[in-house]
Structure 1
Amino acid sequence: MILHRSRFVLVAGLVALAAFLFGLCTLLRGAQAASRPRPSSRPSTAQRSGDDGGFSVVLTEPSESYLVGIKRIVIEPRVPPGDSVVGVDFFVDGRLVATDRRSPYSTEIDFGQEIRRHTIIVTALTAGGRRAKVSFVSRAADLAGGAAVTLALVPAVVRDAGGRFVDGLSVGDFVLLENGARLPIVHFDDGPVPQSIAVAIQAAAPEEARGALLRGAVSFSDSVLSFDSLGLVPVGSVSQGDAPAGTPPPRAEKKRKEAPGAAVVTPLPVVEFSYDHGLFSQRLADLDSGSERPGGAPLAEAFQIATRGLQARPRGRVLLALLAGRGPRETVTAADAEPNRTTGALQASQDGNDPTAEKDLTAALDAVKKSGATLHVVVYGGAEDSPFPEIRKVAEETGGEFLVAASAEAVDAACWRISESLQHQYLVSFAPVSPEREGWRSIELHLRPPDLAVQARRTYFASQPPKRP
């Protein structure tokens, strides 16, 4: 009897311990998911100097391939017994920028607000006359700038059957087709590359939706890499029927005459991109502060503004649209409207379906595709109405995500998901056949491993490369 009771107590104790450990693990996993530390780019292999009688140095910073803003240059010496470091010289692009004679051996350099190719050389000398030299060459932001021919860039995200990102693939794992014909891949990146990201956010959305979208934008800016530049484009109403009460209708572009018979359209605003993510967050705060919030441009115009800004940036372009509510309904076809044109036009006006606005949106989305940008979209609410079907189609064609969020927390998670996908991209580049023949061409990107899925753009617009001066 005592033996049975002891066994019962032992089993009960083990069950209680297992339950405690399970709860503790669950709590820790939840805490980790909630904190979501800021991701960093995959570090490059540390550069090491040659060995001189047991003396060598390792370049521990910078660890990223792209340099922008203020960065530290740090080395760690390996010194044999009885010797010591007497001086370390730091050179950037052939110029001596600093000398350090005390540990830790480091300096800070401002690499400016453009990602350019830089050469870092660090030399060290010991009291015993031993010498070491280590070098590092960073990469430029123009992903195809060094190519002899114009390259088409295809960002791609690979996932397994469980939806998890797959890293570590090589160029031999990809097969690329243009208009059904296989082409060689001439350049391949398997790590994060600089992105110019235009964030178009619906500033004129209702209070709850605007707050959720702004918080999602902050989460996104906190999660992208330091060499990603951000630009903000406020969006007003997405259609005539979607503007909140009190929002003035968008003003038509004014035309002014420069000369008799010549009408000039007022130019669109310019998107300011910056690698200072704190500045971007401040712009978001300014967008939500004060009693008079800016309404932003109509959706089509906002897309045009973002696209023009991206076209002026090095390639590696992303447009993230954060929108609210139900999107424009499907356009009524001519056949459907034929029985009663007057009634059909009136109904379209009441529903907010302005044919001119829809035509402008189609043209704006066409410009997004031609620019080579990847369109990602997060919509707050309206899942039951299948919002923004035309925008969804373009997002899929450009290799982007179209996510509908039912809550503010879901908006935040969707923005985080998109930022993660940008950091797990492969970049596949190829030389188009006869690029002087302008027009749309299909792209197919296949994987040799059959159990993996690839997400990439499906079309691109071939055009004559600009003439160099």
Structure 2
Amino acid sequence: MNRSDIIMKMAMIVNRFLGSVCGKCLVGMVLLLVTMMPGISSHQVVLRSDLVLVPVSVYDRRGRFVSGLRAEDFILYDDGRRRPIVFFSAETEAEHLSRPLALILLLDASHSIAAILHEQQSAVASLLSALGDRTMVSIVSFHQRPEVLLDFTVDKDEALRTFLRRRRIGGNTAIFDALCFAIKRLSALPDADLRRIVVIISDGLDTASETDYRACARAAQREGIAVYSVWIPLYSPSGGRLKARRPTKGFIEVAEETGGKFFRVGTVEEALNPRAVVDLRPVFQAVIDDLRHQYYLGFYPPGDAHPGFHRVRVTVKRKGVRVDARRRGYLVR
């Protein structure tokens, strides 16, 4: 374990436990005496518990990840004011996920989506293989209520069997109730160093939720959970042709506001062709690539930060690149 790995692990622990329990700008210190660890140079790392970590991805004009950036290449703004970057780590391993991951596959149980998911054996097998041995996977199905089909496990064969198993088909669909349920399950996991994500696959039409999507987004932001929304649209006739039924407001936004991504899958032609097979492999590969290519920037909020949500923005001192800050802000209680 190198110096950057050690600092990252301690930062995650501080952020998750001390920061979430102690609330607004706790100034207690955590001391990591790395001199006790073999192979690490003698120094002392001091981490404050109010450190805010911002995952960032940087892409060139062709959409390729930009590697080799340093802390001085980034500029970070907190509510429009520039803040010094006090922590930096490049998590850019190309072959394997460098940190353990907990993933919930949140699956819409409506008839159209269930039929598509049952055809995804190859896609899901590729996803589970790429996640690595340390990744914990849970599978939750939902219609009006969420149902845990598989608790967290590292057994990828069991996860694949569960994913492909025929499920009960529901009527009303409560997307945001199910999403908040998944976020709570991820939040309850004890390992502070876990990256936590939800991949929700749905037609995006919420007909029964009692929970507003903003509550899900706030809960995910507090715990550093990223939501990846996968939209397989339904189509309705309009003006003599078929048009996709837009997802309920929040289905796209919750991905954008939690540092995840939104994907649209399928076309009108595929929807009209009974022999066409929707392929989720490109989406799953995009999620894996996204997890493999991130920088982490850390900063401290001002001591007088007011309670509420604070907006974070990141830029890069390089032309011709696009910056994707995966955390839009942070919450002060």
TM-aligned CA deviation for residue 310 of structure 1: 2.3
TM-score by length of 1: 0.50
Q: Give the residue type in structure 1 aligned to 2:106.
A: A
Structure 2 residue 125 is matched with structure 1 residue 233: no
Kept in 1, the 8 Å contact 2:111–2:169? The answer is no
TM-aligned CA deviation for residue 395 of structure 1: 1.1
Counterpart selection for 1:397 from 253, 257, 260: 257
TM-aligned CA deviation for residue 435 of structure 1: 7.6
Q: Which has the larger Rg?
A: 1
Structure 2 residue 65 is matched with structure 1 residue 196: no
Kept in 1, the 8 Å contact 2:100–2:134? The answer is yes
Q: 1:436–1:287: structure 2 CA closer, same or farther, 3 Å change rule?
A: same
Kept in 1, the 8 Å contact 2:138–2:159? The answer is no
Structure 2 residue 277 is matched with structure 1 residue 370: no
Where do 1:240-279 residues align within 5 Å? 250=145, 272-274=151-153, 276=154, 279=155
Structure 2 residue 115 is matched with structure 1 residue 208: yes
Kept in 1, the 8 Å contact 2:199–2:228? The answer is yes
Higher relative contact order (CA 8 A, sep 6+): 2
Q: 1:215–1:287: structure 2 CA closer, same or farther, 3 Å change rule?
A: same
Q: 1:204–1:416: structure 2 CA closer, same or farther, 3 Å change rule?
A: same
5+ unaligned residues in a row in structure 1: which ranges?
1-43, 46-63, 66-116, 122-134, 138-144, 238-249, 252-267, 329-351, 465-469
What is the aligned length? 274
Q: Secondary structure at the match of 1:308?
A: helix
TM-aligned CA deviation for residue 419 of structure 1: 0.8
Kept in 2, the 8 Å contact 1:204–1:210? The answer is no
Q: Secondary structure at the match of 1:395?
A: helix
CA RMSD of aligned residues (A): 3.8
Q: Secondary structure at the match of 2:63?
A: coil
Q: Give the residue type in structure 2 aligned to 1:199.
A: L
TM-aligned CA deviation for residue 227 of structure 1: 4.0
Counterpart selection for 2:188 from 312, 320, 335: 312
CA distance in 2, matches of 1:188, 1:327: 39
- State, as a whole percentage, how many aligned pairs show the same letter: 23
Q: 1:280–1:304: structure 2 CA closer, same or farther, 3 Å change rule?
A: farther
Aligned residue number for residue 148 of structure 1: 48
Structure 2 residue 277 is matched with structure 1 residue 415: no
CA distance in 1, matches of 2:204, 2:48: 47
Q: 1:217–1:371: structure 2 CA closer, same or farther, 3 Å change rule?
A: farther
CA distance in 1, matches of 2:304, 2:150: 29
TM-score by length of 2: 0.68
Q: 1:425–1:216: structure 2 CA closer, same or farther, 3 Å change rule?
A: same
Q: 1:438–1:213: structure 2 CA closer, same or farther, 3 Å change rule?
A: farther
TM-aligned CA deviation for residue 371 of structure 1: 2.9
Aligned residue number for residue 161 of structure 2: 285
1:243-267 Cα deviation digits (max 9, x unpaired):
xxxxxxx49xxxxxxxxxxxxxxxx
Counterpart selection for 1:327 from 193, 205, 210: 205
CA distance in 2, matches of 1:298, 1:436: 36
TM-aligned CA deviation for residue 235 of structure 1: 2.4
TM-aligned CA deviation for residue 148 of structure 1: 2.6
Kept in 1, the 8 Å contact 2:228–2:255? The answer is yes
1:423-465 Cα deviation digits (max 9, x unpaired):
011111212223874311101010111211111235333235x
Greater mean deviation of Cα atoms: 447-456 or 305-314: 305-314
Kept in 1, the 8 Å contact 2:217–2:258? The answer is no
Kept in 2, the 8 Å contact 1:369–1:394? The answer is no
CA distance in 2, matches of 1:213, 1:295: 20
Structure 2 residue 87 is matched with structure 1 residue 187: yes
Q: 1:205–1:214: structure 2 CA closer, same or farther, 3 Å change rule?
A: farther
Structure 2 residue 310 is matched with structure 1 residue 441: yes
CA distance in 2, matches of 1:375, 1:427: 18
Q: Give the residue type in structure 2 aligned to 1:219.
A: S
Q: Give the residue type in structure 2 aligned to 1:184.
A: P
1:187-209 Cα deviation digits (max 9, x unpaired):
11102443333221224443432
CA distance in 2, matches of 1:272, 1:433: 40
Q: Secondary structure at the match of 2:103?
A: strand
Kept in 1, the 8 Å contact 2:105–2:198? The answer is yes
Aligned residue number for residue 221 of structure 1: 128
